[in-house]
């Protein structure tokens, strides 16, 4: 009975904890298999809409079923146009539904994501036949959260989508400004849309940074917070940071790895080089080594003597 009085084990490896991950048969796969009338009508309707005609390759039946499930569960109400079509994923604008009013299996809300009816959301749809599949697997394979994930494409992309959701949640908890994750279903992620359909957020690469020193201060603090929460972005650059209303938002956390990933050091180094180079070009000279030292500086020991008393 000694366990009854056992102390909680401190988390030795923050960032490595993970929940059971079942990517074998999602609710969306079951819907796609069943092909009932309601889903069939939804499928026809969505395939006919202008914004999807160009996207046909993204929307195989199981992907459509994932979108259908997100609509049914109240996370998405109506689709707007595409925001971006990349190699791995397409991002769409959409109207968010009454998320949270109908708690359901499959899709999840973030702990801190109560329903926000009528707000705009971003819907990121990952391609199962991603050309970067091999590279995705490399990121996942060294990640202790994903041990045992089968090496087939579907499982990898589904794990990847869940990973982006989890990374966004963790980044938010750590105080890093990222889009609020709302729901994930199969290969589809719903998150807060930064900016508005008619007033888009822009990438850092597309704007002239008026005050690079201040912006750099924000970025390096976010990198440090992320690192202290056990994560490294892994693809950080002016292309994966967006700006809206004077607010800088870090996006695209699908590839972010825990600090225990075998290539964590290399990813961090690359992020630091990209960020330092960008701000140096923008007029605020920064060295990648200084940035790295800042990001990885050990957290002050809260039990230690206050500095003034030393």
Question: Under rule CB under 6 A, which residues in 48-87 are in contact with ligand ATP?
Answer: 83-84, 86-87
The active-site residue out of 29, 73, 235, 271 is 235
Q: How far from 171 is each of 164, 250, 257, CA to CA, in Å?
A: 10, 9, 12
Q: Is 252 a catalytic residue?
A: yes
Does 179 interact with ligand ATP (rule: CB under 6 A)?
A: yes
Q: Which is nearer to ligand ATP, 143 or 164 (CB)?
A: 164
Task: Kindly determine how many residues on this chain lie close enough to bind Mg ion according to the rule CB under 5 A.
Answer: 2
> Which part of the chain contacts ligand ATP (CB under 6 A), choosing from 168-176, 190-198, 216-224, 271-279?
190-198
* Secondary structure element (H or E) that encloses residue 111, with its range: none
127 binds, among ligand ATP, Mg ion, none (CB under 5 to 8 A by kind): none
Q: Which is nearer to ligand ATP, 250 or 286 (CB)?
A: 250
Q: Which is nearer to ligand ATP, 11 or 206 (CB)?
A: 206
Question: How far is the first Cα of the chain from the last one, in angstroms, to the nearest whole number?
Answer: 44
Helical ranges in the chain per DSSP H: 27-34, 37-48, 50-53, 61-72, 133-141, 153-173, 212-228, 264-281, 288-296
If we measure between CA atoms, which residue out of 249, 246, 251 comes closest to residue 210?
246
- Shortest distance, position 176 Cβ to Mg ion, whole Å: 16
User: Site for Mg ion (CB under 5 A): which residue of 143, 164, 252, 271?
Assistant: 252
145 and 224 in contact (C-beta within 8 Å)?
A: no
In terms of Cβ atoms closer than 10 Å to its own Cβ (0-12, 13-18, 19+), residue 144 is middle
Residue partners of 134: CB distance under 8 A and separation at least 6 = none
Q: Is 235 a catalytic residue?
A: yes
Cα separation, 178 vs 256, in Å, equals 13
Site string for ligand ATP, 6-45 (x = CB under 6 A): ----------------------------------------
Cα separation, 127 vs 140, in Å, equals 17
User: Site for ligand ATP (CB under 6 A): which residue of 28, 31, 193, 272?
Assistant: 193
Does 192 interact with Mg ion (rule: CB under 5 A)?
A: no
**Interface with ligand ATP (CB under 6 A):** 83-84, 86-89, 91, 122, 124, 179, 191-195, 201, 203, 240, 242, 251-252
Catalytic center residues: 235, 252
């Amino acid at each position: 009975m000694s366990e009854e009085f056992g102390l909680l084990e401190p988390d030795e490896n923050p960032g490595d904890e993970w929940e059971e991950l079942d990517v074998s048969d999602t609710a969306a796969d079951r819907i796609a298999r069943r092909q009932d009338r309601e889903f069939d009508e939804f499928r026809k309707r969505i395939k006919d809409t202008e914004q999807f005609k160009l996207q046909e390759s993204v929307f195989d039946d199981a992907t459509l079923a994932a979108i259908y499930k997100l609509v049914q569960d109240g996370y998405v109400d109506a689709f707007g146009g595409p925001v971006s079509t990349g190699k791995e994923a397409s991002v769409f604008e959409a109207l968010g539904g009454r998320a949270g009013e109908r708690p359901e299996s499959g899709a999840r809300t973030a702990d801190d994501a109560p329903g926000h009816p009528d707000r705009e959301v971003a819907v990121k749809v990952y391609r199962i036949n991603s050309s970067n599949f091999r590279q995705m697997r490399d990121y996942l394979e060294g990640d202790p959260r994903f041990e045992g994930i089968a090496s087939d494409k579907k499982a990898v992309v589904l794990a990847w989508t869940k990973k982006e959701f989890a990374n966004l949640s963790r980044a938010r908890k750590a105080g890093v400004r990222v889009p609020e994750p709302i729901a994930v279903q199969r290969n589809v992620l719903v998150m807060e849309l930064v900016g508005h359909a008619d007033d888009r957020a822009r990438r850092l690469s597309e704007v002239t940074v008026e005050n690079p020193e201040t912006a750099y201060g924000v970025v390096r603090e976010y990198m440090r917070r992320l690192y202290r929460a056990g994560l490294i972005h892994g693809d950080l650059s002016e292309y994966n940071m967006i700006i809206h209303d004077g607010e800088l938002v870090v996006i695209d956390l699908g590839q972010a790895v825990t600090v225990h990933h075998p290539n964590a050091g290399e990813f961090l180094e690359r992020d630091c080089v990209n960020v330092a180079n960008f701000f140096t070009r923008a007029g605020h000279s920064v060295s990648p080594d200084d940035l790295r030292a800042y990001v990885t500086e050990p957290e002050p020991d809260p039990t230690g003597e206050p500095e003034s008393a030393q």
